[in-house]
């Protein structure tokens, strides 16, 4: 098996890559390799043009039927009908392009992240070159403040620490080494002799050999995964696709059946049958549905934006409402991404800072004062115009002093450091020397085990006394307790010197120390997240943590947030990336329901976790902020990126961005998503019940040999009376118990919850009423001394169908509950929509110049009374049916 770069000795690497560890490549060799292998840049796949997206909107079979109907109408002389049909199709296509915000900007964002310059040694001389000119084998120089320009195998390291949270999820900077590692299949976070492209150098310096550039780097592999990953269809898109198929086949069947019956039983002319088939197609297809869905989603998007949830892809609004699983990154998402001192050990006592200020305690103040001084003096962080800059661990120590005693902090910052022994991974210590005259103070901080092995006294209750074996056991136990809570522990010690040594040496300066105490810190959870996790659970949503951090740290934070519960078996509920690699897909799918925390995972692991849940039919939301989260954000049903701490890559790959980085915002977004689905379901019930009524009416008219409703009539009804009330239904308020319901998941659809049966019986009732009005008009042509013409009967059926659909919009606000109450009219936009639709519907009959366009006649008062009475009857009938369902079938 081929070795990984971290397993290859530096000399062997130099031989393999034909480079020199001191002088690097020659300029000529570098130029040759650049020509052969291309620049150190990320490539993006070609995006669809706006025109191509517009053309795609016409590939749907239902749209094809409408276009065919428009063509036939034009060829048979029905120019008005053809223009109306074509206009509706084009309007919907424009909405579709608006809805399709699937631009692949993630790769562009990755390219922008690349550092523009790099310090490279070529021919033994350092020089600044564009990062894009780096080639495999180049020798690169790194120092604090640099961005790593390519993937490097480190060959000469001086106290290097690199912050790579965006790639690995590690919450603190990683200490790097130039030693060869021997373990197999190490996760990225543990490949400590490699530095990865786009990571930040926060401390020290190093030289490294370029082992991968461009798309071959770890960031490049993520870019490739983003390019190759198909866009995940949302439940909304899948529902609409399925519905479209069903309606298409139904339309074709009914049209063919009508043609056959009309031709063989009624002896109707072929042209008339074609026009009838067109009317059926127009009646059956909910032309306004795509626009209504888009507008409803857009309205939901606007409401969510006011709550700091910025939606990039419209279907994501509804998808949130069906979410079963939320897989969340830890660092910066569930936590504050800022190391914070939580506890200290003084006088041998563990002090929780959440409940006590050690500087105000009579027993602890002296020890706290000395500890605070050492934390400030033994510290390399710098105060700049942009704020505190340095290693997060050291900035946390300064923040501690800033919080409790800012005056003393300002005073100590004026002290001059005389000598120092920098931190290194062998000693696990850092030492500084301050002072003047007869007294010089030596301050030491480091790993507890390293400090405890070098002390011979301890500061205890205001005095210094000898350090005993009992003290050693006591402090080791305290260290173990804090480590078990996933707290990072540092020990602090000091001693005094009468003279300043010529050179600070470890064996002299770091022995005979006085132990002052411990400091325990962690990247703490966001204070609001615990309640959000509880709300998500109450809504039937399962939150998971998926992080690149250590298992112990991840489990501790998950326990504090309630993601892990006390009853959970940690051996089953916590899984590492290495453990996941050992499982087959089949085995993992069986275990996935037991795991609540994933630690030390790579980007490929996150995708695998999401896909395992998706195979179980679950709707998965994934949150994250780093480059490493981007593939999972894209493959998830909905990707949620952080707006403040998130990288541009994660934002571009996501469906939604949280402007406030607040996990609790997701809960609000879920509620909005559930409301959007409910409102789309209302609009769909309204549209399909109306369209079913139209289809049944036209089909029955054909069987009876009656004149059928013309295509332009149906289009006008669908455009005016359906569209505006349906849009207004998208503004209905959420049901009070919407967040106590379980997620509907992928198996549910728009016809579930009683909506499907309601569409059928309400469509049948409406058709029956329309046919009754038409039949009544034909049966009793004479009234009040006037003669009812055939056109009047068709006009009455047309107006009854249109007005009744508007009235039925009130009924669909609830499948089973009565709408005969004041709350039914609290939606003022809905009231206005009904009024506008009523005026528009009446206009085509009342305004005589419009009569010939819509094939209608003018009606008298008697005829209007029949139309209005029949239209209002749908309220009485639906309310009666709902009462029966509630009373005898326990519905609602």
Higher pLDDT among residues 263 and 46, named by residue: 263
Q: Measuring CA to CA, which residue among 879, 878, 856, 860 is closest to residue 868?
A: 860
State percent of the chain over pLDDT 90: 38
pLDDT tier for residue 626 given thresholds of 50, 70 and 90: low
Q: What is the mean pLDDT of the chain?
A: 83
Range name among 300-304, 385-389, 504-508, 871-875 with the lowest pLDDT average: 385-389
Contact assessment for residue 671 and residue 739, using Cβ atoms and an 8 Å cutoff: yes
Strands 542-546 and 597-599: parallel
Which of 3.40.50.2000, 3.40.50.2300, 2.70.150.10, 2.60.40.1190 is the CATH number of 5-44+108-226? Answer: 2.70.150.10
Query: pTM above the 0.95 mark?
Result: no
Q: Measuring CA to CA, which residue among 442, 457, 359 is closest to residue 400?
A: 359
Range name among 132-141, 157-166, 268-277, 835-844 with the lowest pLDDT average: 268-277
pLDDT tier for residue 835 given thresholds of 50, 70 and 90: very high
Q: Do domains 324-336+526-658 and 340-522 have the same CATH topology?
A: no
pLDDT score for 808: 94
Q: Quick check: 816 pLDDT over 80?
A: yes
Which DSSP string corresponds to 428-456?
TEEEEEEEETTEEEEEEEE-HHHHHTTEE
State percent of the chain over pLDDT 70: 85
Q: Which helix (H) or strand (E) holds 152?
A: strand 151-163
pLDDT score for 550: 84
pLDDT score for 1: 45
Alpha-carbon distance of 214 to 151, in angstroms, equals 9
Q: Quick check: 352 pLDDT over 90?
A: yes
Q: Quick check: 234 pLDDT over 60?
A: no
pLDDT score for 105: 41
Angle at the Cα of 650 from the Cα atoms of 104 and 558, rounded to 5 degrees? 150
pLDDT score for 785: 40
Q: Quick check: 109 pLDDT over 60?
A: no
Q: Does domain 235-305+669-889 match CATH 2.60.40.1120?
A: no
Helices and strands counted in the chain (H then E): 34, 28
Alpha-carbon distance of 368 to 127, in angstroms, equals 49
Q: Quick check: 789 pLDDT over 70?
A: no
Spatial neighbors of 371 by CB under 8 A, at least 6 apart, are: 344, 346, 492, 516, 517, 519
Question: Which tokens belong to 290?
Answer: 């795509």
Which tens digit of pLDDT belongs to each residue from 18-39? 999 999 999 999 999 999 988 9
pLDDT score for 646: 67
How large is the average pLDDT for residues 472-493? 93
Question: Which tokens belong to 837?
Answer: 């639709």
pLDDT score for 155: 93
pLDDT tier for residue 73 given thresholds of 50, 70 and 90: low
Which tens digit of pLDDT belongs to each residue from 671-710? 888 888 888 889 889 988 998 898 899 889 888 888 888 8
Range name among 177-191, 224-238, 532-546, 555-569 with the lowest pLDDT average: 224-238
Higher pLDDT among residues 151 and 709, named by residue: 151
Q: Quick check: 282 pLDDT over 80?
A: no
Phi, psi of 345 (to 5 degrees): -115, 115
How large is the average pLDDT for residues 44-63? 66
pLDDT score for 97: 63
Alpha-carbon distance of 653 to 640, in angstroms, equals 9
Q: Quick check: 104 pLDDT over 60?
A: no
Question: Which tokens belong to 673?
Answer: 């998503």
Range name among 64-78, 97-111, 314-328, 845-859 with the lowest pLDDT average: 97-111
Q: Quick check: 90 pLDDT over 80?
A: no
* Domain boundaries along the sequence of the chain: 5-44+108-226, 235-305+669-889, 324-336+526-658, 340-522
Which range of 345-349, 380-384, 754-758 scores highest in mean pLDDT? It is 345-349
pLDDT score for 103: 33
According to CATH, the topology of domain 340-522 is Calcium-transporting ATPase, cytoplasmic domain N (3.40.1110)
E-only strand ranges, 428-530: 429-436, 439-446, 455-460, 463-466, 488-497, 513-522
> What residues form DSSP beta bridges with 786?
783
Which DSSP string corresponds to 308-349?
TEEESSTHHHHHHHT--EEEE-STTTTB-SS-EEEEEEETTE
pLDDT tier for residue 231 given thresholds of 50, 70 and 90: low
pLDDT score for 434: 93
Q: One of 329, 399, 625, 661 is an active-site residue; which one?
A: 329
How large is the average pLDDT for residues 108-124? 66
Range name among 142-151, 276-285, 723-732, 773-782 with the lowest pLDDT average: 276-285
Strands 597-599 and 387-389: unpaired
pLDDT score for 221: 81
Q: Quick check: 563 pLDDT over 90?
A: yes
Give whole-number Cα distances, 42 to 418, 466, 490, 606, in Å: 47, 61, 41, 22
156 included as an active-site residue: no
Q: Does domain 324-336+526-658 match CATH 3.40.50.1000?
A: yes
């Amino acid at each position: 098996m081929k070795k990984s770069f971290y397993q290859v000795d530096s000399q062997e690497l130099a031989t393999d890559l034909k480079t020199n560890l001191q002088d690097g490549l020659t300029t000529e060799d570098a130029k040759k390799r650049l020509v052969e292998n291309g620049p150190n840049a990320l490539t993006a796949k070609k995006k669809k043009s706006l025109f191509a997206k517009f053309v795609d909107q016409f590939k749907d079979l239902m749209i094809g039927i409408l276009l065919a109907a428009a063509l036939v109408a034009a060829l048979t002389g029905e120019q008005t009908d053809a223009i109306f049909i074509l206009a509706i199709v084009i309007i919907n296509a424009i909405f579709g392009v608006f809805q399709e915000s699937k631009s692949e900007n993630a790769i562009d964002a990755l390219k922008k992240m690349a550092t523009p310059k790099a310090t490279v040694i070529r021919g033994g001389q350092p020089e600044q070159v564009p990062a894009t000119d780096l080639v495999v084998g180049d020798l690169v120089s790194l120092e604090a403040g640099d961005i790593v320009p390519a993937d490097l195998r480190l060959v000469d390291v001086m106290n290097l620490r690199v912050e790579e949270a965006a790639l690995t999820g590690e919450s603190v900077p990683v200490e790097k080494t130039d030693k060869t590692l021997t373990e197999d299949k190490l996760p990225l976070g543990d490949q400590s002799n490699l530095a990865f492209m786009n990571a930040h150098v926060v401390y020290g310096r190093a030289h490294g050999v370029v082992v991968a550039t461009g798309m071959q780097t770890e960031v490049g592999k993520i870019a490739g995964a983003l390019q190759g990953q198909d866009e995940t269809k949302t439940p909304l898109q899948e529902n609409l696709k399925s519905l479209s198929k069903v309606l298409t086949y139904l339309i074709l069947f009914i049209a063919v059946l009508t043609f056959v019956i009309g031709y063989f039983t009624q002896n109707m002319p072929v042209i008339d049958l074609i026009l009838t088939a067109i009317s059926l197609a127009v009646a059956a297809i909910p032309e306004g549905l795509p626009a209504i869905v888009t507008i409803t989603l857009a309205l939901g998007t606007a409401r969510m934006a006011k709550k700091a949830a910025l939606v990039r892809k419209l279907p994501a609004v509804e998808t949130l409402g069906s979410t079963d699983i939320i897989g969340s990154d830890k660092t910066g998402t569930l936590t504050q991404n800022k190391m914070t001192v939580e506890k200290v050990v003084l006088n041998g006592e563990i002090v929780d800072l959440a409940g006590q200020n050690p500087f105000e305690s009579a027993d602890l103040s002296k020890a706290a004062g000395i500890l605070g001084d050492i934390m400030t003096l033994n510290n390399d962080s710098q105060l700049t115009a942009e704020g505190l800059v340095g290693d997060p661990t050291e900035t946390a120590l300064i923040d501690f002093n800033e919080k409790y005693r800012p005056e003393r902090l300002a005073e100590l910052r004026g002290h001059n450091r005389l000598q120092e022994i920098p931190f290194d991974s062998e000693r696990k210590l850092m030492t500084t020397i301050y002072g003047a005259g007869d007294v010089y103070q030596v301050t030491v901080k480091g790993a507890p085990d390293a400090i405890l092995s070098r002390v011979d006294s301890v500061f205890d209750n205001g005095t210094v006394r000898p350090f005993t074996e009992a003290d050693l056991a006591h402090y080791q136990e305290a260290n173990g307790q804090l480590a078990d809570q996933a707290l990072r522990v540092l020990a602090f010690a000091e001693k005094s010197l009468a003279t300043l040594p010529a050179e600070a040496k470890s064996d002299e300066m770091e022995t005979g120390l006085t132990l002052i105490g411990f400091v325990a810190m962690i990247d703490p959870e966001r204070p609001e997240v615990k309640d959000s996790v509880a709300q998500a659970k109450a809504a039937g949503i399962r939150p998971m943590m998926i992080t690149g951090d250590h298992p112990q740290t991840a489990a501790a934070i998950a326990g504090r947030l309630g993601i892990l519960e006390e009853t959970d078996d940690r051996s089953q509920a916590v899984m590492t990336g290495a453990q996941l690699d050992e499982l087959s897909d089949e085995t993992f799918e069986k275990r996935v329901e037991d795991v609540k925390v994933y630690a030390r995972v790579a980007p490929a692991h996150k995708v695998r976790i999401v896909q395992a849940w998706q195979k179980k039919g679950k709707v998965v939301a994934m949150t994250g902020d780093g480059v490493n989260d981007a593939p999972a954000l894209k493959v998830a049903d909905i990707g949620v990126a952080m707006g403040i701490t998130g990288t541009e890559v994660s934002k571009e790959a996501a469906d939604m961005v949280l402007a406030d980085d607040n996990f609790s915002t997701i809960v609000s977004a879920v509620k909005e998503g559930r409301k959007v689905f409910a409102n789309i379901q209302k609009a769909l019930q309204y549209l399909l019940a109306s369209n079913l009524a139209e289809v049944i009416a036209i089909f029955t008219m054909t069987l009876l040999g009656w004149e059928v409703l013309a295509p332009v009539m149906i289009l006008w009804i669908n455009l005016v009376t359906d569209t505006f009330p349906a849009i207004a239904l998208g503004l209905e308020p959420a049901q009070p118990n919407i967040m106590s319901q379980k997620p509907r998941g992928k198996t549910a659809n728009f016809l579930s919850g009683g909506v499907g049966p309601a569409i059928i019986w309400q469509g049948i009732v409406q058709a029956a009423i329309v046919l009754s009005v038409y039949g009544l008009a034909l049966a009793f042509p004479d009234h009040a001394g006037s003669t009812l013409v055939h056109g009047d009967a068709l006009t009455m059926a047309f107006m009854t169908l249109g007005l009744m659909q508007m009235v039925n919009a009130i009924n669909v606000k609830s499948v089973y509950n009565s709408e005969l109450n004041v709350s039914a009219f609290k939606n003022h936009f809905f009231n206005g929509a009904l009024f506008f639709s009523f005026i528009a519907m009446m206009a085509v009959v009342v305004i005589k110049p419009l009569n010939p366009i819509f094939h209608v006649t003018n009606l008298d008062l008697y005829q209007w009374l029949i139309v209005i009475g029949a239209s209002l009857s749908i309220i009485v009938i639906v309310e009666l049916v709902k009462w029966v369902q509630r009373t005898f079938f326990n519905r609602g």
